Amino acid sequence: MGFFDRLGNIWKGFMSLWISDIENRNPEAVYEAAIDERVKKHRELKKAVSGIVYLRNKLSTELETKERQLKEIMQQLPIAVEDGEDEVALVLIQKKDELTSQIEGISAELTKVSGQAEDAKSGLIAFQAEIGKLKREKETMLAKKANAEARIGIQETLDGLSTDADIKALDNVRTHIDKLQAEADIGTEIQGGSLDSKLAKIKEKAANSSARGQLEEMKKQMAARSAAAEGGKNL
């Protein structure tokens, strides 16, 4: 095999793969093209069948005409013989024989053509049914394709949600929450060491000291009154 032959084969292979890839990605277009091609052939077949049917009808009409002519001659022949018209009778006999021969030939041809017409019509009906079947197959296969693509998409989505991905997502959320908590704690700690905070503590201590002093004073007064009351009873 020469270089150019090999190169041609490679190119044909490349084109075949390229066309196959296009067909796989466009199944609806492939089905439509196949259906259109069959519809075209159906028209051609229908035209051919119509030609056969036309010939059958023509032979049938011709046969009927010849049979009618033969019938008329068979009615005329006895009359010509009775009337002694031998020359006329001879002509009628010749026509009878010719018509009989023609009728036999036409009958044989009509039988043959009628069989061809029936076969052609059966083929036409079967071909039309094949087109309908292909149309239904198209709808079924496209539905299967859409379903398969949807299932693959779901599977790919589920594959993307692996356990590692879930754990990583949870770790991220936990880290974020811990950072927020640390930020809040820092705010509290800073607030506790501020000047305002110290002043507030001093005020709180002063208030407690004042209250405690008042409490001690009240206890002393109550003790003095109690002692005075006891002294009066002793007198």
Per-residue confidence (pLDDT) for residue 193, from 0 to 100: 53
Per-residue confidence (pLDDT) for residue 109, from 0 to 100: 93
- Band of pLDDT at residue 112, cut at 50, 70 and 90: very high
Per-residue confidence (pLDDT) for residue 131, from 0 to 100: 85
- pTM score above 0.85: no
Per-residue confidence (pLDDT) for residue 102, from 0 to 100: 93
Task: Transcribe the chain into DSSP letters.
Answer: --HHHHHHHHHHHHHHHHHHHHHHH-HHHHHHHHHHHHHHHHHHHHHHHHHHHHHHHHHHHHHHHHHHHHHHHHHHHHHHHHTT-HHHHHHHHHHHHHHHHHHHHHHHHHHHHHHHHHHHHHHHHHHHHHHHHHHHHHHHHHHHHHHHHHHHHHHHHHHHS-HHHHHHHHHHHHHHHHHHHHHHHHHHHHHHTSHHHHHHHHHHHHHHHHHHHHHHHHHHHHHHHHHHHHHHHH-
Instruction: Kindly state the average pLDDT of the residues 113-142.
Output: 86
Superfamily of domain 3-161: Helix Hairpins (1.10.287.620)
Report pLDDT digits (tens) over 15-62: 444 445 554 567 778 878 888 888 888 888 888 888 889 999 999 999
Domain range list for the chain: 3-161, 168-234
Most confident by average pLDDT, 61-65, 85-89, 116-120, 194-198: 61-65
